Amino acid sequence: MTQAQAFFNEMFDAGGVRGPYQQLQSWVDDMPAELRSLKQAEAEALFRRIGITFAVYGEGGDPERLMPFDMFPRVFAQDEWRRLERGIIQRAKALNAFLADVYARGEIVRAGLVPRDLVYRNEAFEPAVVGFTPPRGVFSHIVGIDLVRTGPNDFHVLEDNCRTPSGVSYMLENREIMMRLFPGLFRENRIAPVDGYSEELRRTLASVAPPKCDGEPTVVILTPGAYNSAYYEHSFLADLMGVELVEGQDLFVEGEFVWMRTTRGPQRVDVIYRRIDDAFIDPLCFRPDSMLGVPGLMDAYRSGGVTLASAPGAGVADDKAIYCFVPEMIRFYLGEEPLLQNVQTWQCARSEDLKYVLDHLPELVVKEVHGSGGYGMLVGPKSTREAREAFRARILADPGNYIAQPTLALSACPTFVNEGVAPRHVDLRPYCLVGDRVTLVPGGLTRVAMTEGSLVVNSSQGGGVKDTWVLSE
């Protein structure tokens, strides 16, 4: 039973049910098993009917997969959320200040606070935008910050996502579906709404229109296309914001501006929320084999004809090695102490760190610096000797590509499982919007590892999602 106490339980502490979860105790106690399976089936049918799927190609079977949805909500009290919110907004501001700095004078590097090579020799550093300041100095307009909780007041940032964090459609749809399935819960609890997100996103994007834009800016979302795994999200957001969802082939550059091909001829585009990686957005500037981008886009961007969100080069701030320096950024640019903690991180590029990591592999989580989606990582305590030895060889072959962190005791939230309700580990991704102001809707995406004991919450690794509540009293 010592295992059970090794992590923070979001719903129960020594004194019984924690405040924010009070109402849910009777809800789950009073729910007969049949009703539960009925509701679960209803939820799945809704997801399928609405078409909320993510695509997995190349594995055989039906490419349109459902994200496992757990009906047990994850709840924050108002005061818990206020603290988190301040920390997230602080971090989003610092990350943007860092980006504006490293593509300009690089004061933080000159001050010796961040190693020169880590910035300027970083794969994600984009020489093509050095010296260019995007509208309002904002590089990362949507910052997704992955958080884990280890205690009542202990939140750690696992990683920052400054490019195109995905998953916000689940935050919105999970709420819609919960409201349809359990309207009573929403009458009994005062749950802050999240549906202001799309309007705030549209406003944020319009607020960073380029200087050459006169009048109401035309905003579009640029998608790689219907076969992208996040296509549903792209079309969902376009629909909610009432903007066109375009592919590279729908756009062209002429006379310093970007135009979209419409049935009445070309129409000018001012702000592009692009869900395509830097490398693919302009075959003339980056990968020449890209069919997804728009030739000449970077020229239009640099001459102030169009705004790209996020700005090319924003990825240098969310690198797992740069991550270690975010607390320094907060102190340097904002003159504040960080409100959210980083996780202790060993960088294998440093020889003393490398030695420690290799000596302690069974206790650590080792990740690739540019990895994502839960791929290419080693969870020490859950690994076999063979897996560790294989990973050791990979680290030694390219130490600079790896970082390691202690295995955190992720908090657990009650989750519906076959046997009833049991704790499963969760994380949290809130979405912070940065434009003329910095805002955060009260909520986020809670991902849950559906397998008992598992700490990996990524959907590509069998993770699920939950509705995330912020109580508003």
Partner 1 sequence: MLSRTAANLYWMGRYMERAETAARLLQVGERMSLIPSTGAGHRSEWVPLLQANGSFQTFEAKYRDPVQRNVESFMFFDHDNPGSVAACIAAARENGRIVRTALTSQVWDALNTAFQELKALERTERSELPLTRLTDWTLRNTALVRGSIAATQLRNDGHDFLNIGYLLERADNTARLMDVKYFVLLPRVDFVGSGLDNYQWTTLLRALSAHRAFHWAYGGEVTASKIAHFLILNRQSPRSLLTSVQGVNDHLNRLSHGYGRAGRPQATVRKLLGELAELRIDEVFDEGLHEFLTRFIHEIAELGDAIFDAYLSGDAR
428 vs 424: CA distance, rounded Å: 13
By C-beta, is 197 or 333 nearer to partner 1? 197
Tokens of 392: 């050791």
By C-beta, is 113 or 226 nearer to partner 1? 226
Instruction: Please state the closest distance from residue 227 (CB atom) to partner 1, in A.
Output: 10
Distances in whole angstroms, Cα of residue 46 to Cα of each of 65, 142, 176? 13, 28, 10
CB atoms within 10 A of CB 75: 26
Q: How far apart are the first and last CA of the chain?
A: 35
301 vs 94: CA distance, rounded Å: 24
CB-hemisphere CA count at 13 Å for 67?
33
CB-hemisphere CA count at 13 Å for 206?
14
Instruction: Please state the closest distance from residue 239 (CB atom) to partner 1, in A.
Output: 4
438 vs 450: CA distance, rounded Å: 33
Q: Are 28 and 84 in contact (CB under 8 A)?
A: no
By C-beta, is 264 or 385 nearer to partner 1? 264
331 DSSP 8-state letter: I
366 vs 391: CA distance, rounded Å: 9
Q: Is the peptide bond before 207 cis (omega within 30 degrees of 0)?
A: no
Instruction: Please state the closest distance from residue 318 (CB atom) to partner 1, in A.
Output: 29
Residue 405 sits at φ, ψ, to 5 deg, of -135, 155
272 vs 312: CA distance, rounded Å: 12
Instruction: Please state the closest distance from residue 296 (CB atom) to partner 1, in A.
Output: 16
194 vs 198: CA distance, rounded Å: 9
By C-beta, is 237 or 377 nearer to partner 1? 237
By C-beta, is 49 or 385 nearer to partner 1? 49
Instruction: Please state the closest distance from residue 292 (CB atom) to partner 1, in A.
Output: 14
By C-beta, is 259 or 323 nearer to partner 1? 259
Interacting residues toward partner 1 by CB under 8 A: 48-51, 226, 235-236, 238-239, 244-247, 249-250, 260-266
By C-beta, is 269 or 348 nearer to partner 1? 269
Instruction: Please state the closest distance from residue 219 (CB atom) to partner 1, in A.
Output: 13
Instruction: Please state the closest distance from residue 53 (CB atom) to partner 1, in A.
Output: 10
By C-beta, is 238 or 403 nearer to partner 1? 238
By C-beta, is 50 or 422 nearer to partner 1? 50
19 DSSP 8-state letter: G
424 vs 440: CA distance, rounded Å: 26
Q: Residues near 443 by Cβ (< 8 Å), separated by ≥ 6? A: 171, 175, 192, 194, 430, 468, 469, 470
Instruction: Please state the closest distance from residue 266 (CB atom) to partner 1, in A.
Output: 7
DSSP for 21-63 reads: GHHHHHHHHT--HHHHHHHHHHHHHHHHHHT--EE--SSSS-S
Instruction: Please state the closest distance from residue 298 (CB atom) to partner 1, in A.
Output: 22
Instruction: Please state the closest distance from residue 262 (CB atom) to partner 1, in A.
Output: 6
Instruction: Please state the closest distance from residue 109 (CB atom) to partner 1, in A.
Output: 43
By C-beta, is 52 or 191 nearer to partner 1? 52
Quick one: which H or E segment has residue 97? helix 78-102
By C-beta, is 185 or 221 nearer to partner 1? 221
Instruction: Please state the closest distance from residue 157 (CB atom) to partner 1, in A.
Output: 34
CB atoms within 10 A of CB 198: 21
Tokens of 189: 């609890």
Q: Mark 418-431 as b/e (b = at least 16 C-beta within 10 Å).
A: eeeeebbbbbbbbb
By C-beta, is 104 or 226 nearer to partner 1? 226
In terms of Cβ atoms closer than 10 Å to its own Cβ (0-12, 13-18, 19+), residue 264 is exposed
